[in-house]
Structure 1
Amino acid sequence: MALPIHLAYTHWETLHPPLLETGSYAVDPEPGGPPWRQCDEVEAAERGWFITFGELPDGPSGMVLLAPGDVRGTKLIIERAAGYCLGIDGRDGPNVACRGCDRPVGTRIDDCGYWQVVRLGPDAVVRLPSPPERPVMDWPELLATGALWHRLSEFRDIPAGVALAQVVVAAGGAPVEVAPGPVVELLGRALAALLPAGGGAKRLDLAGPGLGEPGADLVLVPIHPQTGDMWQPSAGAVPVPMDAALWAELAFPPPRTRLPMVGGLPAGVERDDPLPRRPSHPFQPSREAFRYTLARMPAVREPWLKAIFDRC
């Protein structure tokens, strides 16, 4: 499957689910894990960082990522199994060894504040004949099988922060008018706080498979969960990539069950059953995911966007 868009963004001191689905894998093309070192501006840009947060990972690139439950024939290297509080975080380098030869082969991460994953070194993975990989589904099949729907729950602010950064860059500093509905509920407050108000606003809406293309300047579209390709509009709007699960949640919200009241209310009056939960505070996209995404985009060096980055 494609490397998840939310790979590096987490909630501190919160136990996270596995990063990948069981039976799938992804390859991380970038260096990961220790050693960590400072990079100058030119070298950081060559590695895709246009604003750096400090030290960058300098471990091997091309690591193969798996869900922890899919790994067989390995054991923990106990002296490297350090972590913050509820698990191990890979701070000491490879902590998983081959059970047969004791050779370090990868790093398991499952501490709070991290997506649970095992990162196998590229030199420890050998491709063997196996059953055919899961065929790539087209967009209609993804919709028909429900493959886009996953429970984001308390983690939905992370892909929302990624999408917010993509919208701000696509707008180029212009005001954005968000179409009424789920998009304005997700990003409206944040965009109003980050971008100026006034004339010449660019309209933002949802578009994608099974949804069509509204009349908008910017359209939020899903990223294919297997290939990482972005759905492309044909009507001339600028596509803005969004995590497929979050996009599906906005495009096709689950219907509420409505049952008639028995007694107590006038005939014909209905209520939600169960009553929808009220959020304790207005939704906000992840600030960390927003800043991290901007730092990986060349446009962040433009003065107007650097000013937004600095005040967030």
Structure 2
Amino acid sequence: MAVFVCAGCDAVLTAQVSRVALPAEVHQIWGNGTLLPVLMEAGTYAVDLEPSGPPWRRWDEIGADEAAERGVYAPVFALSYGAPGAVFVAPGDTRGTVLIPERCGGFCCGLDGRDGPNLACERCGRAVATRIDDCSYWQSVRLDPEAVRGVPAEDVAPEADSWQALTEPRDRTPRVDQCGRWSPRWAAAAAVTLAHLLAASDGAPVAVPDGPVADLFRHALDTLLPAGRPARTAALAGPSLPAPDPEVDIALVPTHPRTGRTWQSPGTVAVPLAGDIWTQLVSPQRQLPIPVAGGMPDGVFRDDPLPLHPHTLFRPDWGVFLHTLARLPAVRERWLREIHERVRNRPYADPF
């Protein structure tokens, strides 16, 4: 665990926080006028290793060669030339900061960080972070890596990196809300995995098993990949599952919720899937016909609350998909670049 302090005066700026993997939805913009919840769980932080924040340069100023040196292999609107290593924390975990009034720009419902860091150290006045809480953005505080530094917390036992974390009891991210709308977290996580699935397909169709995996990926794969070639087979694999069958070509494996490491599956191409989503696909929670405690009269089954079912076909997040695909070297191949450009030019077309 760590505490982040002001690089100028050493004032404490956060509570004690534990590092976790960067969420897939960190760059997501969801809906129009939608108020999203907090990005980071309380007591956690994540580090974005890419540059973030202003200044920005557009693609036509950068060029393909310079972008490739940055690890971006397909056109994007603009790239940040700010400092890498921004630290994301929950707004409730910040301490000793005040808003900078002249930097509080936003679209309609809050702050979006367009004016640069908008939080200052209360003690010395140094700009240290950016609060984001406008509509369509996940609520977060992004600590400026050049204005803060992390200090290890004292008297705290080291955290385990075992894969046991995937099976520990914790609140799961529901795939559908009470109104039947798909979760934006699921849409972001599936978009990351879809980009990697396409790269692993080598342009051939990909067959996925029936059930929740098919709900997330089958329609998108069938829409984006051409038919006619022998299909490659994808299946779930991971720490609680037996080794994949020999005919499985692509393994959908979890990423560690704390370290972000990807589970390795010998003999197959490993495609990452967010650990929380992977766990729910492996062992989905089922609706109980009777209460956990007590009982109901004979012949009567529980029908409240009703199981949550989506009212639309699942659609991955096109913005997260393009962000991920542009950073995969395979996108330089002609067939995959054509998919990238098709989605970029018509982002709301099927399957997005």
TM-score (norm: length of structure 1): 0.90
Q: In the TM superposition, what is the alpha-carbon distance from 1:120 to its structure 2 partner?
A: 1.5
- Take 2:237 and 2:171, find their aligned partners in 1: how far apart are those partners? 15
Change (3 A) 1:306 1:128: closer
Residue in 1 that maps onto 2:112 = 89
Checking the alignment, whether the CA contact within 8 Å between 1:256 and 1:272 is kept in structure 2 is no
Change (3 A) 1:165 1:148: farther
SS in 2 for 1:242: strand
Checking the alignment, whether the CA contact within 8 Å between 1:31 and 1:59 is kept in structure 2 is yes
- Is residue 44 of structure 2 the alignment partner of residue 29 of structure 1? no
Q: Which moved more, 1:17-26 or 1:163-172?
A: 17-26
Checking the alignment, whether the CA contact within 8 Å between 1:80 and 1:93 is kept in structure 2 is yes
Residue in 2 that maps onto 1:139 = 163
CA deviation vs aligned residue, 1:162-211 (integer Å, no higher than 9, x gap): 11111011111011111122111111111111112235211111111212
SS in 2 for 1:85: coil
Letter in 2 for 1:220: L
Checking the alignment, whether the CA contact within 8 Å between 1:149 and 1:248 is kept in structure 2 is no
Aligned equivalent of 1:99, options 93, 108, 122: 122
Aligned equivalent of 1:65, options 88, 102, 114: 88
Q: In the TM superposition, what is the alpha-carbon distance from 1:270 to its structure 2 partner?
A: 5.7
- Equivalent positions of 1:145-294 (< 5 A) are 145-147=168-170, 149-151=172-174, 153=176, 154-155=183-184, 156-215=186-245, 216-234=248-266, 236-259=267-290, 273-294=304-325
Identity %: 47
Residue in 2 that maps onto 1:16 = 36
Q: Which moved more, 1:148-157 or 1:12-21?
A: 148-157
CA deviation vs aligned residue, 1:51-103 (integer Å, no higher than 9, x gap): 23222112221222211110100000011011111110110011100111111
Change (3 A) 1:75 1:56: same
Residue in 2 that maps onto 1:295 = 326
SS in 1 for 2:257: coil
CA deviation vs aligned residue, 1:220-275 (integer Å, no higher than 9, x gap): 111001111001123x1211001111111211110211149x99xxx979675533
CA deviation vs aligned residue, 1:91-132 (integer Å, no higher than 9, x gap): 001110011111111211111122222111223223335233
- Take 1:183 and 1:291, find their aligned partners in 2: how far apart are those partners? 21
Change (3 A) 1:269 1:75: closer
> CA RMSD, aligned part only?
2.3
- Is residue 84 of structure 2 the alignment partner of residue 41 of structure 1? no
Give the total of aligned pairs. 307
Aligned equivalent of 1:3, options 6, 15, 22: 22
Deviating runs (4+, > 4 A) in structure 1?
267-273
- Is residue 326 of structure 2 the alignment partner of residue 306 of structure 1? no
Q: In the TM superposition, what is the alpha-carbon distance from 1:144 to its structure 2 partner?
A: 3.8
SS in 1 for 2:251: strand
Q: In the TM superposition, what is the alpha-carbon distance from 1:218 to its structure 2 partner?
A: 0.7
SS in 2 for 1:6: helix
Letter in 2 for 1:112: C
CA deviation vs aligned residue, 1:249-306 (integer Å, no higher than 9, x gap): 211110211149x99xxx9796755332442221121222222211111211211111
Checking the alignment, whether the CA contact within 8 Å between 2:36 and 2:136 is kept in structure 1 is yes
SS in 2 for 1:311: helix
